[in-house]
Amino acid sequence: MITRRQLIDQIKQKKSFLCVGLDTDIDKIPEFLKQYPDPVFEFNKRIIDATKDLCVAYKPNSAFYESYGVKGLQSLVATSKYLPQDTLNIIDAKRGDIGNTSDKYARAFFDEATSGMSFDAITVTPYMGNDSVTPYLKYEGRWVIILALTSSVGSKDFQYLNTGDDYLYEAVIKKANTWAGADRIMYVVGATKSTEFTNIRKYAPDNFLLVPGVGAQGGSLQDFCQYGMTKDCGLLVNASRSIIYAGSDDDFADAAREEAKKLQQQMAEELEKAQII
């Protein structure tokens, strides 16, 4: 398990707050990998080997594995076991259900003895409230990453609804802060919502924010880092497609490394600017 302190130390040591998204699609991986018994795992393994010194987190998105049924789950289990011990390993599952069902989801992703998988963190949707989120917090040291303000166009449908004094996404953060502290809860905030980071820091001054939407969705670090960073960095920035599909041939892992390196170098600059390193 990765504690908040260890995460911060990793960020300073690697000069990076990059999360590599493993949204691995069998239709997009190089042809030559298809000769392996588990091409998706083989792809992930090579991406992990090529990027692990440049990032502090990995985030397989469970949809990409579940969509292939048993085979996909086998690739996910194999990937989860291969992830480095010193990175924060997030399953992007976006779960949310009543308590006893959430217990089962927590077991699926956190209890290695039952499912073969032991992730450090899971993304959850807060719509069903307290009892849908707290079962994950029963697993000591694991993190819950709550969808607050997503990168999607549809974020405006519900997340900006006025709930009295607050937008819904603000109310979500206020309420979730009562369930656990910044050592167990992070929030998802899209890179495409750069103008909201200052406001979000009023509600979540210390929590890490998982920020998707850089690269393929058009967000860029320079747009939000200065508004979202805390003295401990407080940001994990995810990029999936722009890294893992940077190349499409035999040298795909080198291309992924190059892309990850570009982001890591920009991150080092941001950390220096903020005097964190």
Ligand X SMILES: O=c1ccn([C@@H]2O[C@H](COP(=O)(O)O)[C@@H](O)[C@H]2O)c(=O)[nH]1
Helix %, strand %, coil % of the chain (to 5): 50, 15, 35
Contact between 209 and 202 under an 8 Å Cβ cutoff? The reply is no
Q: Nearest to ligand X by Cβ — which residue? A: 150
Residue number with CB closer to ligand X (16 or 150): 150
Residue number with CB closer to ligand X (57 or 188): 188
Q: Does 239 engage in binding with ligand X (CB under 6 A)?
A: yes
Q: Does 102 engage in binding with ligand X (CB under 6 A)?
A: no
Give 114's DSSP letter: H
Residue number with CB closer to ligand X (33 or 145): 145
Q: Hunting for tokens 């291969």 — which residue is that?
A: 82
Nearest to 80 by CA among 63, 58, 101, 54: 58
Mark the segment that binds ligand X (CB under 6 A) among 112-120, 196-204, 237-245, 260-268.
Answer: 237-245
Q: Does 79 engage in binding with ligand X (CB under 6 A)?
A: no
Nearest to 223 by CA among 246, 189, 255: 189
Q: Does 23 engage in binding with ligand X (CB under 6 A)?
A: yes
Q: Could you give the CA distance from residue 276 to residue 14 in angstroms, rounded to a whole number?
A: 12
Contact between 136 and 125 under an 8 Å Cβ cutoff? The reply is no
Q: In angstroms, what is the minimal distance from the CB of 155 to ligand X?
A: 7
Q: In angstroms, what is the minimal distance from the CB of 242 to ligand X?
A: 6
Buried b (16+ CB within 10 A) or exposed e, 120-159: bbbbbbbebeeebbbbbeebeebbbbbbbbbbbeebeeeb
145 DSSP β-pair partners: 123, 186
Q: Does 190 engage in binding with ligand X (CB under 6 A)?
A: yes
Q: In angstroms, what is the minimal distance from the CB of 37 to ligand X?
A: 25
Mark the segment that binds ligand X (CB under 6 A) among 39-47, 194-202, 236-244, 263-271.
Answer: 236-244
Catalytic hit among 94, 104, 261, 262: 94
Per rule CB under 6 A, count of chain residues that contact ligand X = 19
59 belongs to the catalytic site: no
Contact between 121 and 142 under an 8 Å Cβ cutoff? The reply is yes
219 DSSP β-pair partners: 214
Q: Of 16, 44, 51, 61, which one interacts with ligand X (CB under 6 A)? A: 61
* Positions in 111-130 near ligand X (CB under 6 A): none
* Positions in 204-223 near ligand X (CB under 6 A): 212-213, 215-217
State both tokens at 52. 């692990």
Query: Which residues are the active-site residues?
Result: 94
**List of residues contacting ligand X (CB under 6 A):** 21, 23, 61, 92, 150-152, 188, 190, 212-213, 215-217, 238-242
